[in-house]
Amino acid sequence: MNSIDFLSLPKAEIHIHLEGCFGTETIVELARENGVALPRSEERLLDFNGLADFLEFLDFICGLSRSRDQLAKSAYAFAERMAASGVGYADLIVNPTHWSGWKGNLAGLIDGLDAGLSAAEQDGLPNVGLCISLLRQQTASEAVDIVEELLRIKHPRVVALSVDGNEAAAGRTGPKFAEAFQLAGRGGLKRTAHAGESSGAEGVRDAIFLLGADRIDHGVRAIEDDELVGILADRQIALGVCPTSNLTLGLYKDMGEHPIDRLRRAGVPVSINTDDPALLRLDLPTEYARTAEPFGWDRETVRGVAATSIKASFAPEELKTKLLGDLAAW
């Protein structure tokens, strides 16, 4: 296992939130620029007292990107993070509800992020697509309004509609968002949904049958429903799995108990991702190593999981072909 170089492994990251990618340095710099006091000392900045504190902190850090330049800086730093992890392409989830400075200005939010990501690409950093995410607590009409706005803007950087947030707290939301997701699909956007994490297998079913999801974020609790595992395998619907995040939130007690390998062996396409890497103090090569070790994955198994990340990504086809070629030669 130690002989596998997970940094050089050609791969994509397909389940990662910009809100969870702000390193301490960036947070401190943005707070200073805006003349805002930090909620606690720099050394303890990423120490959280439970989920409520964590979510409040997300809103705090996103609220620090107030100008187009600050948004662009945040996006550029994300591309640098991807390059440092050996990522060839990323689908980046952004939930506008966290970005208080851009309320009612979705076009401005996308424009600022695109400015940073375009500058990063010109400097040879990885290509990034944006997945604009609904929050589960939003209403059906708010969701439709957001999709209509995305289809009006038609920004080439935006590749997908997403939905995230605590399913356990929000209750079943598949029926509520079905219309918005159908509209997005008709408008040419890809569709991805958080499901099967704070919800059980029924959330994954809703993501497939009500939202028409091309990919499921998390999805691990599908393992609780044998028929559903068969559906995911038959339809080759990929899961964007984040093992450390699942352990941190107490879904499983250790990696050996995590269902990623059982899902993989049942024929479900699984990929490895970091979710909120700065806040979890994590990078993608570490997550691969941490996941592969307890299951004794060999190079070919790792190659297969990396291939899933590329195939299931919303990258342009020519980039997928290049990355898969690099992976075959790895």
pLDDT in tens, 82-131: 999 999 999 999 999 999 999 999 999 999 999 999 999 999 999 999 99
| Alpha carbons 41 and 37: distance in angstroms, whole number | 10
| pLDDT tens profile 3-51 | 899 999 999 999 999 999 998 888 999 999 999 999 999 999 988 877 6
* Window from 57-66, 111-120, 253-262 with minimum mean pLDDT: 57-66
Quick one: pLDDT at residue 9? 98
Q: pLDDT-derived band of residue 169, with 50, 70 and 90 as boundaries?
A: confident
Quick one: pLDDT at residue 37? 95
∠ at Cα 63 (79, 67), nearest 5°? 70
| Alpha carbons 156 and 151: distance in angstroms, whole number | 11
| Alpha carbons 196 and 250: distance in angstroms, whole number | 14
Mean pLDDT of the chain: 95
Quick one: pLDDT at residue 185? 98
Tokens of 14: 């397909």
Neighbouring C-alpha atoms within 13 Å toward the C-beta of 195: 30
Quick one: pLDDT at residue 93? 98
Tokens of 255: 């990696």
**Mode of pairing for the β-strands spanning 270-272 and 238-241:** parallel
CA 179 remoteness from chain centre: 23
| Alpha carbons 227 and 210: distance in angstroms, whole number | 17
Residue 131 and residue 94 in contact, taking contact as beta carbons nearer than 8 Å? yes
Residue 25 and residue 77 in contact, taking contact as beta carbons nearer than 8 Å? no
Q: pLDDT-derived band of residue 234, with 50, 70 and 90 as boundaries?
A: very high
Question: What Cα–Cα distance (Å) separates residue 262 from each residue in 10, 217, 233, 241?
Answer: 24, 17, 12, 13
What is the Rg, in whole angstroms, of the alpha carbon atoms belonging to the chain?
Answer: 19
Report the 10 Å Cβ neighbour count for 298. 10
The 10 Å CB-count burial string (b at 16+, else e) for 170-205 is: beebbebbbebbbbbbeeebbbbbbbbbbbbbbbbb
pLDDT average, residue stretch 204-212 = 98
* Spans of all domains in the chain: 11-319
Quick one: pLDDT at residue 171? 80
> What are the helix (H) ranges across 63-171?
68-84, 106-122, 140-153, 167-170
Q: For the sheet containing 158-164, what is the strand order?
A: 11-17, 87-94, 127-135, 158-164, 190-195, 215-218, 238-241, 270-272
User: 198 versus 318: which is more confidently predicted?
Assistant: 318
Residue 258 has pLDDT above 90, yes or no: yes
The 10 Å CB-count burial string (b at 16+, else e) for 272-293 is: bbbbbbbbbebbbbbbbbbbbe
Report the CATH number of the 11-319 domain. Answer: 3.20.20.140
- Of the residues 13, 19, 167, 197, which is catalytic? 197
Burial (Cβ within 10 Å: 0-12, 13-18, ≥19) of residue 122: exposed
Q: Is 227 labeled as catalytic in the residue annotation?
A: no
Residue 278 has pLDDT above 60, yes or no: yes
Strand residue runs (E) in 139-219: 158-164, 190-195, 215-218
| Alpha carbons 321 and 330: distance in angstroms, whole number | 14
Q: pLDDT-derived band of residue 2, with 50, 70 and 90 as boundaries?
A: low
* Window from 161-165, 186-190, 210-214 with minimum mean pLDDT: 161-165
Residue 58 has pLDDT above 80, yes or no: yes
Percent of the chain predicted with pLDDT > 70: 99
pLDDT average, residue stretch 55-71 = 92
